[in-house]
Structure 1
Amino acid sequence: MSSPAADVVRLLAVKGETVAVAESLTGGLVAAEITAAPGASKAFRGSVTAYATELKHELLGVDATLLEQHGAVNPQVAAQMAAGVRKALGTDWGIATTGVAGPEEQDGQPVGTVFVAVAGPVDQGSGSAGGGKVEALRLNGDRAEIRMESVRSVLALLLTELASEHSGNERAQDTERNGGF
């Protein structure tokens, strides 16, 4: 049985696309999971672990006012981190994690509050700019469990986006093969 990271690497390699990771609470665990998969070098470009809030702005282009007003544990911050790492590292896809692993709350958010995000190529079908998607999580467990579930969740979100984009492309190709019908 293959892992979600191996599935991500395989799908990206088949499509000839790349991914970069922006991490906060996971501290490099997402990048480690992806690079543990055989063939990762075909799809993985790199990562930015922006643990300190100011680095989210300085390295990933997250809006400083957003960070000041809402803190780093915010769905828009996650979305901007994913888009920012995608742009900074020149990839087709960017994924991001931000949240509170504990032991104490952060930015007024309780332990277990996590946001994972994916930014992808512009989807011509839906007109969405950047193919962005954010998922809010409320996780239970200790610090290690919250971090590992965050890794699993961001990879699952990317897999869902890759699969939906892939099936959309297949439909478009079928239409072309069938003379537009």
Structure 2
Amino acid sequence: MGKDRCLMTAQEMDEALNRLAAAIIERHGNCEKLALVGIQRRGVAIAARLGKRLKTVLGRSLPHGTLDIALYRDDWRTSVKQPEVLQTDISFSVDGAVLVLVDDVLYTGRTIRAALEALADFGRPSRVELLVLVDRGHRELPIHADYVGLTVPTLRSDRVHVRMQENDGHDEVFLAAAPE
């Protein structure tokens, strides 16, 4: 039988977010044209936490938004149930901006493809970078992350679960291994 395994404790998640914020500043300096866009659900919480860290260092808030990709997914029409549509809120101009798209887990790349399509409805950023807390491999599309908190090898049948205080009441990342 498969066994769950802790991949990141709350403290390790916090340390990873600090490293990711530092990597953004290293690449973008004062982050003048930078904006954060979190993908619903947990990408939103991760982007908010990154925004707080960046504000502490930069002395100012960065534009940030939330993006729901439910109706942009290529599998929603084949799903048994209707997709749950959540809030999209991008109240700044994306034209010419450098967007850091934030998600919890990068797997096949299909969520990111859908997010890129959704972002195109808001304008034309000068660049889009991808930040993920966990990269678990198994891409089906040619998509990679620019910033990664943790890379973990998985089986396709495994599941990586990110729990966030804002959504789940506590922080942790764990691997639910496939039953043997």
TM > 0.5 fold call: no
Whose strand fraction is larger, Structure 1's or Structure 2's?
A: 2
Larger RCO (CA under 8 A, 6+ residues apart): 2
Q: TM-score, normalised by structure 2?
A: 0.39
Q: TM-score, normalised by structure 1?
A: 0.39
